[in-house]
């Protein structure tokens, strides 16, 4: 039986949340962090979650004022993180229009409309999802938990009085600071100084043509995520990675189709080196394995995520229905007023807002297909606007569910974007859009929903933080909309500046995710999409659903939900391995308290605080490096993945042991008196 949730700030207490200084600070951070992550995403295909860095920055800035409080801090980071997450949705799709030669430069108004419409939709979709995934399903949302711990430990307590320091004790603050220093120092030495490689792994040849691979990303943040989500989820994610890289990859590579794919990949690899002016060589075994995964195996995860997302909505139909029913009934005469911590945008207002967003989305889609003629383009725009809004809710639910499992930084939002691109491309093809226009129209159509999914996943983390702290959801949703608006109007100029300076699609700024989306859209219209892999993933998901239902009916302690396994297949195995290790450390810490259960809560919490600090430290360095690069100051740092592996392995292993020690320390050392 789950314990009743008790917010950090009680519902009966009201503190200023949306303030003028908070709004200004939140909007500035939304633009700055969004711009920094835009470059980082175009460069390496990944972004860094801004929730914890924004929380730390807001605490530092707000302390300069006489009055501030923890809920105001949370409101600032909520707006700021919206900018970063919106940047992910934009940079994964919009630059593809340059790669497809549909644009020669970034179109300001189209890009802004895509970002604004998709971002606002994402905020609106989280209204019913908040109750379903946070209140009812009680998903972990590891970065939401980490952010709340950072704010509680470094904030100002429950009353809003700066003199009211949080009663967390010296050990809790020490654990947070220790984790932060460890994560910051490790990431700076690895990324900023390139003292060791960021990954360790190997690939092996099986028979003549088969290949299998395994690896681990040496990232303290992933170790912390695993600790926070726990062993069960971490194990399922890791199982998906093992299934993809050690089972599906060798099986596929040993087939005739696999051999043909590897030959084609090798030829394309050599041609790419020749075009870049580099020495021509054959790819290494590790590079072949990465090519097989990115070109084939990861689509098993896409198919599994599609079925998993649909099944998640089926399983969540009751809490979603309750959220809609309660929202519709809240305005009726005689209905009891909700607690402050349950006040949010009304369902009626949300529904009207979604309908209102259909209009600009329809106009955008009409503009994208206007060359087909007035009547055909109007019909296509109407169908796609309605379809994309409906599927947008599904994909936002998938993104929110995945964020609840593995966090925002590790949330494979590109998988959701691929699902969106596939849906849009197949529909446009059925509606008769020709192949010369289809891929570009697909990107414009899908970009809106990609932004909605990116915002939904990140905002659910912020709403989880607010749920723990006792924030008013409506205030957070207001800050989310403001953060989206600020970032939406700033991202197009940032993209254009980067394109003029480096050329998007060049070796300096390859935009790998946008290139993938352009390729997927082209595959649908011209052939080449690995539908066998997508179907295999869907079949695997069905089997997992059946197994999970059987285990549930028997009351088994271990279950097999689809989404963690699907995420594990889609992610590189190097990401799932440290998550599993973190989950294993959490299990070892909990097991150590079998004879001292009275101290278990303190020990587990100290581990969460250390993990939160590690996530914060690594994220801050990632943001700092991105800012330095964005402002052409990267000569002060070294960004390289060359170097030795063993120093990183040793230090990473030490951090895992240190995390365990922080968790079990209350067993051996008496807590300091307040």
State how far the Cα of 385 lies from the Cα of 33, in Å rounded to an integer: 30
More confident of the two residues 321 and 90: 90
Side-chain-side CA neighbours of 566 within 13 Å: the count stands at 38
Q: Mean pLDDT check: name the lowest of 254-258, 429-433, 518-522.
A: 518-522
Burial of 12 (0-12, 13-18, 19+ CB in 10 A): exposed
Average pLDDT over residues 523-551: 88
The pLDDT value given to residue 140: 77
Backbone dihedral angles phi then psi of residue 387, each to the nearest 5 degrees: -65, -45
What pLDDT, on the 0 to 100 scale, is given for residue 674?
42
DSSP alpha helix (H) spans, 64-168: 70-91, 96-99, 108-129, 142-154
Share of the chain above pLDDT 70, in %: 85
| Average pLDDT of the segment spanning 121-135 | 86
Contacts (Cβ under 8 Å, ≥6 apart) of 638: 192, 193, 194
225 contacts 256 by C-beta, under 8 angstroms? no
Q: What is the pLDDT of residue 334?
A: 47
Structure tokens at 539: 């079949």
Confidence of residue 171 (pLDDT cuts 50, 70, 90): low
Helix (H) or strand (E) holding 205: strand 199-206
In angstroms, the CA 367 to CA 377 distance is 8
Alpha carbons 109 and 478: distance in angstroms, whole number = 24
**CA 638 centroid distance within chain:** 26
Q: Output the pLDDT for position 316.
A: 65
Listed ranges 279-288, 476-485, 517-526; the one with the highest mean pLDDT: 476-485
Spatial separation of the C-alpha atoms in residues 662 and 178, rounded to whole Å: 9
Q: Enter the tokens of residue 613.
A: 């600090």
Q: 514-534 pLDDT, tens per residue?
A: 877 888 888 888 877 788 898
Compute CA 383 distance to the chain's CA centroid, rounded to the nearest angstrom.
Answer: 29
How would residue 633 be classed by pLDDT, with cut points 50, 70 and 90? low
- Please report, for the chain, the start and end positions of each structural domain, with discontinuous segments joined by +: 8-137+337-525
Q: What is the DSSP letter of 135?
A: I
What are the CA-CA distances from residue 560 to residues 300, 541, 588 (Å)? 17, 10, 22
Residue 1: its pLDDT value, please?
43
Q: Has residue 227 got a pLDDT over 80?
A: yes
Query: Cβ atoms within 10 A of the Cβ of 465, count?
Result: 29
Largest CA distance in the chain: 77
Q: Which residue has the higher pLDDT, 661 or 600?
A: 661
Q: DSSP per residue over 393-442, as a string?
A: HHHHHHHHHHHHHH-STT--HHHHHHHHHHHHHHHHHHTT--TTTHHHHH
* Mean pLDDT, range 547-567, rounded to an integer: 84
Classify each residue of 433-451 as buried b or exposed e, where b means 16 or more C-beta atoms within 10 Å of its C-beta. beeebbbbbbbbbbbbbbb
Residue 164 has pLDDT above 70, yes or no: no
Give CA–CA dist 674/663, Å, rounded.
Answer: 20
Look up residue 217 and give its DSSP letter: E
Q: What does the block give as tokens for 125?
A: 């979709």
Residues 6+ apart with CB under 8 A from 63: 162
Tokens found for residue 270: 């050599």
Residue 184 has pLDDT above 60, yes or no: yes
Residue 544 near residue 202 (C-beta atoms within 8 A): no
Rounded to the nearest angstrom, the gap between the alpha carbon of residue 482 and the centroid of all alpha carbons in its chain is: 20
Helices (H), 162-297: 169-187, 220-229, 231-242, 249-253, 256-276, 285-292
635 versus 322: which is more confidently predicted? 322
Q: How confident is the model at residue 672 (pLDDT cuts 50, 70, 90)?
A: very low
- Torsion sign, CA atoms 325, 327, 330, 333: negative
Rounded to whole angstroms, the Cα distance separating 477 from 483 reads 10
> What pLDDT was estimated at residue 552?
84
Read off the pLDDT of residues 316-362 as tens digits, 9 standing for 90 and up: 676 666 655 655 554 444 445 578 888 888 878 888 899 999 999 99
Rounded Cα gap, residues 448 and 392, in angstroms: 9
More confident residue, 397 or 49: 397
Mean pLDDT value across residues 230-254: 91
Q: Quick check: 122 and 451 in contact, CB under 8 A?
A: yes
Cα Rg, the chain, nearest whole Å: 24
What single-letter DSSP state applies at residue 214?
A: E
What's the pLDDT score for residue 408? 61
The span from the CA of 491 to the CA of 496, in Å, is 9
The pTM of this model reads: 0.73
- The pLDDT assigned to 588 comes to 93
Q: Which residues contact 456 (CB under 8 A, 6 or more apart)?
A: 122, 125, 126, 129, 396, 397, 399, 400
Question: What was the pLDDT predicted at 412?
Answer: 58
| C-beta separation of 74 from 480 below 8 A | no
> What distance in Å separates the CA atoms of residue 608 and residue 169, rounded to the nearest whole number?
15
Give the mean pLDDT of the chain.
82
CB atoms within 10 A of CB 5: 12
C-alpha triplet 633, 638, 644: angle, nearest 5°: 170
Cβ neighbours of 130 (radius 10 Å): 25
Q: How big is the chain, counted in residues?
A: 674
Residue 673 has what pLDDT?
43
Tokens of 622: 């990632």
- Please tell me the distance from the alpha carbon of residue 74 to that of residue 26, in angstroms, as a whole number: 10
Element (H, E) at 200: strand 199-206
Tell me which residue has tokens 């967003």.
357
């Amino acid at each position: 039986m789950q314990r009743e949730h008790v917010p950090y700030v009680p519902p009966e207490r009201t503190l200023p949340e949306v303030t003028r200084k908070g709004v200004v600070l939140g909007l500035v951070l939304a633009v700055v962090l969004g711009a920094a992550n835009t470059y980082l995403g175009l460069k390496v295909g990944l972004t860094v979650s801004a929730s914890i860095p924004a929380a730390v920055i807001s605490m530092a800035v707000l302390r300069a004022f006489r009055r501030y409080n923890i809920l105001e801090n949370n409101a600032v980071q909520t707006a700021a993180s919206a900018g970063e997450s919106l940047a992910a949705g934009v940079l994964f799709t919009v630059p593809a229009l340059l790669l497809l030669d549909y644009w020669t430069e970034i179109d300001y108004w189209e890009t802004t409309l895509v970002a604004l419409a998709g971002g606002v939709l994402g905020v609106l979709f989280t209204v019913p999802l908040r109750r379903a995934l946070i209140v009812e399903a009680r998903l972990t949302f590891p970065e939401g938990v980490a952010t709340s711990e950072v704010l509680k430990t470094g904030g100002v307590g429950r009353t809003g009085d700066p003199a009211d320091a949080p009663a967390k004790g010296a050990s809790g603050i020490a654990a947070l600071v220790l984790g932060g220093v460890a994560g910051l120092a490790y990431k700076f030495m690895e990324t900023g100084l390139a003292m060791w490689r960021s990954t360790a792994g190997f690939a092996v040849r099986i028979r003549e043509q088969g290949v299998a691979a395994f690896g681990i990303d040496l990232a303290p943040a992933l170790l912390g995520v695993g600790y926070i989500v726990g062993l069960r989820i971490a194990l399922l994610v890791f199982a998906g990675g093992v299934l993809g890289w050690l089972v599906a990859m060798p099986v596929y590579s040993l087939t005739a189709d696999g051999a043909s794919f590897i030959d084609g990949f090798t030829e394309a690899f050599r041609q790419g080196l020749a075009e870049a002016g580099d020495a021509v060589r054959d790819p290494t075994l590790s590079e072949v394995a990465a090519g097989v995964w990115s070109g084939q195996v990861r689509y098993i995860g896409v198919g599994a995520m599609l079925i998993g997302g649909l099944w998640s909505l089926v399983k969540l139909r009751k809490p979603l229905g309750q959220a809609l029913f309660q929202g519709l009934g809240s305005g009726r005469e005689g209905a009891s007023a909700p607690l402050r911590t349950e006040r949010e945008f009304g369902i009626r207002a949300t529904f009207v807002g979604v309908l209102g967003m259909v209009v600009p989305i329809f106009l955008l889609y009409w503009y994208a297909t206007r060359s087909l003629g007035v009547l055909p383009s109007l019909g296509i725009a109407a169908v796609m606007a309605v379809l994309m809004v409906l599927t947008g809710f599904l994909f936002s639910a998938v993104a929110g569910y995945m964020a609840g499992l593995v966090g925002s930084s590790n949330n494979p939002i590109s998988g959701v974007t691929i699902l969106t691109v596939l849906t849009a491309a197949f529909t446009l093809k059925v509606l008769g859009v020709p192949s010369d226009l289809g891929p570009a129209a697909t990107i414009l159509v899908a970009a809106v929903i990609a932004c909605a999914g990116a915002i939904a996943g990140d905002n659910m983390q912020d709403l989880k933080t607010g749920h723990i702290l006792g924030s008013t959801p409506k205030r957070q949703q207001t800050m989310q909309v403001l953060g989206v608006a600020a970032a939406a109007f700033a991202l197009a100029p940032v993209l254009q500046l980067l394109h003029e300076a480096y050329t998007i699609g060049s070796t300096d700024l390859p935009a790998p995710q946008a290139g993938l989306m352009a390729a997927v859209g082209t595959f649908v219209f011209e052939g080449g999409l690995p539908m066998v892999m997508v179907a295999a993933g869907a079949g695997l998901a069905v089997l997992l659903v059946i197994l999970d239902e059987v285990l549930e009916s028997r009351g088994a302690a271990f279950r097999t939900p689809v989404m963690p396994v699907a995420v594990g297949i889609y992610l590189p195995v190097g990401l799932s391995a440290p998550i599993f290790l973190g989950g294993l450390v959490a299990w070892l810490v909990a097991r150590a308290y079998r004879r001292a259960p009275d101290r278990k809560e303190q020990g587990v919490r100290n581990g969460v605080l250390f993990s939160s600090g590690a996530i914060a430290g690594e994220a801050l360095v990632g943001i700092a490096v991105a800012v330095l690069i964005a402002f052409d100051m990267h000569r002060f740092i070294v960004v390289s993945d060359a170097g030795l592996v063993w120093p990183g392995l040793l230090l990473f292993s030490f951090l895992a042991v240190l995390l365990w020690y922080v968790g079990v320390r209350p067993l051996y050392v008496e807590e300091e008196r307040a």
